[in-house]
Amino acid sequence: MKFSSAIAALAATGSLVSALIPIEVKGSRFVRPAIDANDEGDEFTVIGIDYQPGGSASYSDSSGTDVLSDGDVCLRDAFVLQQLGVNTIRVYTINPWINHDECMSIFNAVGIYVILDVNSPLAGESLSRTDPGSSYNKGYLNRVFGVIDAFKGYPNLLGFFSGNEVVNDAASAAVVPKYIRAVQRDMKQYIAKHANRTIPVGYSAADDDVLREAMWMYLQCGDDESKSDFYGLNSYQWCTGDNWQTSGYNTLESTFDGTSIPVFLSEYGCNKVSPRTFPEVYQGIYGPLNQVFSGGLVYEYSQETSNYGLVNIQDDGSIKLLTDFDNLQKAYNKISLNQTSAGQIKAVTPATCNANSLEKVSSSFETTMDLPGCPAKSMLTNGGGNNNVGKIVKVTNTTSKYKIYNSSGKQIVDTSIEIDKDNEVNSPSGNNINTQSASPSSASSSTSTHKSKGSAVNVNASGFLAGLAAFLAMLI
């Protein structure tokens, strides 16, 4: 990112305080631009978690709430996630007509980006696997465009998923693909016309060796207008006890080697063995797989009926960390990433579409690039009519009203989030959350624990000051 656009992105937040700069795509990698004029920025690796408290079934349009609408909930979870060390959350369903400023600003303040699905499980709010043509209509696109409007103003919005596992068997592979590209085309056109910056648009594929390879070949190739800007794979193939070979991560790496767009795991975390110890984190995803992949999102934050949770949300809104949380935090602390500067990221030749080689991977796959026309052309031009455009607001309250307990059941006394410096991204801390505090004033009923926040990555104070000075000079 050039200096001027980096500053514009910051200025667009309406404040120079605690803002992340939007992530960009360069070749097969994500880039986190620097504030400094002379610095090209660094490669960005997703250290993330799937975030859907309440589960996928809990969403309703009429409740007037979603997982990013309650500031106290987000303050509570931002504290937990800041301690865990993640830099990204994936959110599956939001209501585009309600306000998300407080939550998005809280996550922004703690250095966490958001990847957002534009769909919902409700009827008419996603593409149909069996009859995509009839579901690709004005009402559906009104929701999709509404989500873009609601979130385009947040600098910590990393990107949008156009779809999640829409292709999941041979039958859907035969009819759905061109509709995914059509939706991506519409989204990218809408963003170009109605947003102030480029926002990456990608897809999240089902855990199926053949279909995810075919879908990646189909979505990464050809014209920029409708191709994916990034590709997420849902993969539960490395279970505790597995290694690089038995998990099939070796094949994963060789299959996607040479990708022309960033690829990452949009869901991972096999739970066949409990508690999970997450060896795939330091032996796989942030180890050798990082040669090709740009990180991953672990499934998932809260304990739901499917039993993948890292924390338990109790009826009174308090949080109890689970053993999986402690284990993931320990696993993250073993990561040592070798991030290159953006200038060193190799240029990649865009992939050309090859129907024959795609059909060799999956014979049932629809390979046409003859896409259906947009059924909502005037909305595309004139806007979808969602005036609920989000913006970053100042975070003044740093402590949630909800209590947080560690996995031994001890209450954590100081649960206030730490507001990061400008463009400082959250990262694994290398420290344990439960370091005993020597504070004599703490109540004896609850053991005093204090937090030790993740250390900053890639913060260059002199570069920041130079950028700030140049920005101020521009104002005069």
Ligand X SMILES: *[C@@H]1O[C@H](CO)[C@@H](O)[C@H](O)[C@H]1NC(C)=O
DSSP per residue, 350-408: PPPP-HHHHHHH-TT------PPPPTTHHHHHH------------------SS-EE-TT
Q: CA 441 to CA 235: how far, in whole Å?
A: 47
Is 407 near ligand X (CB under 6 A)?
yes
Q: Nearer to ligand X by C-beta: 66 or 208?
A: 66
Q: Which two tokens stand for residue 243?
A: 């290694």
Q: Which of 65, 99, 386, 460 contacts ligand X by CB under 6 A?
A: 460
Is 304 near ligand X (CB under 6 A)?
no
Is 327 near ligand X (CB under 6 A)?
no
Q: How far is the CB of 288 from ligand X (least distance, A)?
A: 10
Is 39 near ligand X (CB under 6 A)?
yes
Q: Nearer to ligand X by C-beta: 39 or 125?
A: 39
Q: CA 201 to CA 160: how far, in whole Å?
A: 5
Amino acid identity, residue 384? G
Is 108 near ligand X (CB under 6 A)?
no
Q: How far is the CB of 362 from ligand X (least distance, A)?
A: 33
Contact string 117-156 vs ligand X (x = CB under 6 A) = -----------------------------------xx---
Is 410 near ligand X (CB under 6 A)?
yes
> How many C-beta neighbours within 10 Å does residue 366 have?
18
Q: Nearer to ligand X by C-beta: 364 or 388?
A: 388
Which residues does the annotation mark as catalytic?
165, 267
Is 467 near ligand X (CB under 6 A)?
no
Is 12 near ligand X (CB under 6 A)?
yes
Q: CA 80 to CA 251: how far, in whole Å?
A: 34
Is 434 near ligand X (CB under 6 A)?
yes
Q: How far is the CB of 433 from ligand X (least distance, A)?
A: 7
Amino acid identity, residue 174? A
Q: What is the CA radius of gyration of the chain?
A: 22
CB 299 within 8 A of CB 330: no
Total residues at the site for ligand X (CB under 6 A)? 29
Is 11 near ligand X (CB under 6 A)?
no
Site for ligand X in 261-300 (CB under 6 A): none
Residue 229, C-beta contacts closer than 8 angstroms, at least 6 positions apart? 25, 159, 200, 201, 202, 261, 262
Is 383 near ligand X (CB under 6 A)?
no
Is 338 near ligand X (CB under 6 A)?
yes
Q: CA 20 to CA 154: how far, in whole Å?
A: 9
Q: CA 223 to CA 181: how far, in whole Å?
A: 10
Q: Which residues bind ligand X (CB under 6 A)?
A: 12, 36, 38-39, 71-72, 75, 152-153, 196, 326, 338, 340, 389, 397, 399, 401, 406-408, 410, 434, 436, 447, 449, 460, 462-463, 466
